[in-house]
Amino acid sequence: MVAGIEERDARVVEGEGGQRLDRALARAFPDLSRSRLQDLVRAGQVRLDGAIVREPALKVAAGVRLTVVVPEAVPAEPVAERFVLSITYEDDDLVVIDKPAGLVVHPAPGHEGGTLVNGLIAHCGDSLSGIGGVRRPGIVHRLDKDTSGLLVVAKNDLAHRGLTAQFADHGRNGPLERAYQALVWGVPEPRNGTIEANLARSQRNREKIAVVRAGEGRHAVTHYRTVRALGPEVALLACRLETGRTHQIRVHLSHRGHPLLGDAVYGSAFKTKAARLPEPARASLAALGRQALHAGLLGFAHPRTGETLRFESPLPADLAALVRALGDAG
């Protein structure tokens, strides 16, 4: 065996003959994602009874020997950058981060460095066994740059595949749970309810998401509960996601006439409302500098053990100070 290259063997068991090669490989090597295995087939790294095959859809017979050559994961393109991360939980498969506001999750134009991915590459080091053949953390869901709170990241293909499936299912058939705390303008009526409105990229401003007619865009459902009315101008809400669309909570609440405090994108028309707040609350809001949204609860099934993991994060200092100031004012 060549250094840095792993060769694995398995046989197609009786009763599983006749299926596609990529499916047979996924059953035999569950720690590798199906897309990764398809890439290896096309690259000539898979053999059937010693003969190289390059067609993932090829039907395989029971009893044949599957051999897959797995090259060592290549280094990630984003560079490692060491900085302090707030880690809530970590094991060999995944890491749960309590992300501060202002931290971008993934490198993108304008944010090539200093992202959560850069920090995780440095923190995890060799424990990143590779997502799709690349030694990088597997991002299965994201938080906006200025949203704080809990985020789970996969370290390997097995965890990435298991977590991705749970987030795609939105908790319908498992323990996936996501809840946010939000400070909004006004007190919703009814105080508890569900917002169901399709979302799509805005035609007027491609950087924004907009509510669109039924049959267009993507289905989106947000459940909200009024935790506390902080005077007549502001309420603290608990929001639970049934779907996970970009900017979902921000757009849904703005659509209902209750945009998030500090949301310069979806709540700019409500800036004048700040003048109605007493001075301490006004000053606290001015110092916030971001939308008042925090991902305070995250639960999911561990992709390897099946154990239900559930984590909570208290309001960060900036939002807690704003709640206190608004409460004192009310």
Active-site positions read 144
Helix, coil or strand: residue 316: coil
Task: Kindly give, in sequence order, each residue whose CB lies less than 8 Å from that of residue 158, ignoring residues fewer than 6 positions away.
Answer: 30, 31, 32, 93, 303, 304
Q: What is the Cα Rg of the chain in Å? A: 23
**Residues 109 and 142 sit within 8 Å (Cβ to Cβ):** no
Task: Kindly give, in sequence order, each residue whose CB lies less than 8 Å from that of residue 118, ignoring residues fewer than 6 positions away.
Answer: 78, 79, 80, 81, 107
CA atoms within 13 A on the CB side of 179: 17
Distance CA(139)–CA(34), nearest Å, equals 17
**Residues 291 and 147 sit within 8 Å (Cβ to Cβ):** yes
Helix, coil or strand: residue 325: helix
Task: Kindly give, in sequence order, each residue whose CB lies less than 8 Å from that of residue 231, ignoring residues fewer than 6 positions away.
Answer: 326, 329, 330
